Amino acid sequence: MNNLRRAAGELLVVGLAGTELTDLERAWLKLVRPAGIILFRRNIADAHQTRALLKEASGLTASNGLRCVDVEGGTVDRLRDALAPMPSAQAVARAHANAHPRTSQKPFAFQQGSLIAQSVKVFGFNTTLAPVLDLESPDSANVMGTRAAAPTADGVTHYARGFLAGLAAHGVVGCAKHFPGLGGGTSDSHLETPSIHRTNKQIWQEDLAPYRALQKELQMVMVNHAAYPATPSKNQPASVSHYWITKVLRQRIGYRGIIFSDDLEMGGILKFVPIEEAVVECVRAGMDLMEICHSPELILRAYEALISEAEKSKTFAALLTARATRVAKLRTRFFSTPIPPPLSSSRFEALRTKIQRFAGSIANSQPAQENQPA
C-alpha cells in the first residue's frame, strides 16, 4: 500500500495558492509527496520570497523534484513583473530571420534561452515549460498570439534548437509543447476541448516534424487536451490518448524522455472526463507526469483515484509502480541539482539590464507589437 501511495504521488506535479505555504498545503504535500511544484505569477513576488517558497515546498516533495515555471517570453512570462519582460518566441524568430548572416553574435534564440535559464535559476526553478513547438497559423492566431515561433516546421525547429541550447548551457530543463500540435486550433483548451481537423498525414509531416527532428534533444514533452477527429484518436483529447502518447510519441517517433500533461484542471479535459478518470486514463495512455495547477481538492481526488484504481487492478498497480520507478530515474538524471546560491543585488540588476537590452535588440531588429498579458 505504501508503495502505491508513493507511486501515485510521484506522478503528480502540483500548484500552490499563494506566496507562502499554508498549513493545509503543508499537510497535503506531506501526504501526497508529489514529483514537483509549479508556480505562477500569483506565487511570485520577488526572487528571495520565491526561493524560500520553493525550498520549503521541495522539502515536502519527492527527491530530485521538478521546480517548474512558464517562461516562454511575450504573453506567457511569469517573471516579467519580478524581473523584466522577455520578448516572445515569434519576435525572436523573426528578428533572427532579419539578422545579418555574417553577424558574430550568438543566435537570438540561443540568447533568449540563455537569459531565460539564468532568470529561472535566480528564482530557484530548474525547469521552464518552453519552447512552444506549435506552428504559427491563421487558424490559431487568436488563441496562440505570438507564442508560436514560425509558420513552418523548419522555422520552429531552428528556433527551438537554439532556445534549448541556451537553456542547456545553464543546466535548465525545457519542455516542448503542445504535442501533437495546436497550430490548427481555433478554441482555447483552457475553456473547452479544441477540435483540430487535420489529417494524420498533415500532422506527421508538419506539426510533428519539430518533435521528430528534436526528439533526442528534448528532456520533456507536454501533451495538450485537443482532439483530432480525422485521426485514429477521433474525439479523444490527446492527453488521454494511447494512440498519440504511446503509439506516435513513444513508438513511432522514438521519444524516451518525460511525457508531461498540460494542466488537468483545464476545461479541455475536465469537460470531457472527471479528474478521477482523467488521471487513470493518462497513466494507461502512457503519460509520465500529470500537472494539476491549483485546486487542493482536485489534487487529492486525483491522488486517491490512482491509488483506488491500483487497489482494484493488479495490472494498473504494476503499471503505476513501474511508471513511477522509471520517472524517478529520469528525475535523478535531469533534476538533481539543488537550488543555487542567490545572486547579489548588483548581479541581479545586471541580469535585468541584459534582458532589457536583449528585448531592445529584438524590437529594433523587427518592429512588432507584443500582446500584453491578461
Active site residues: 190, 262
- Alpha carbons 356 and 352: distance in angstroms, whole number: 6
Contact (Cβ atoms closer than 8 angstroms) between residue 33 and residue 9: yes
H or E stretch at 349: helix 345-365
DSSP, res 223: E
* CA-wise closest residue to 106 among 91, 92, 119, 120: 92
Cα–Cα separations (whole angstroms), residue 222 to 47, 131, 169, 182, 339: 26, 10, 22, 12, 24
How many whole angstroms from its chain centre is CA 248?
Answer: 19
Buried b (16+ CB within 10 A) or exposed e, 303-342: bebbbebbeeeeebbebbbebbeebbebbeebbeeebeee
Helix (H) or strand (E) holding 116: helix 108-122
**DSSP strand pairing (220-223 vs 127-128):** unpaired
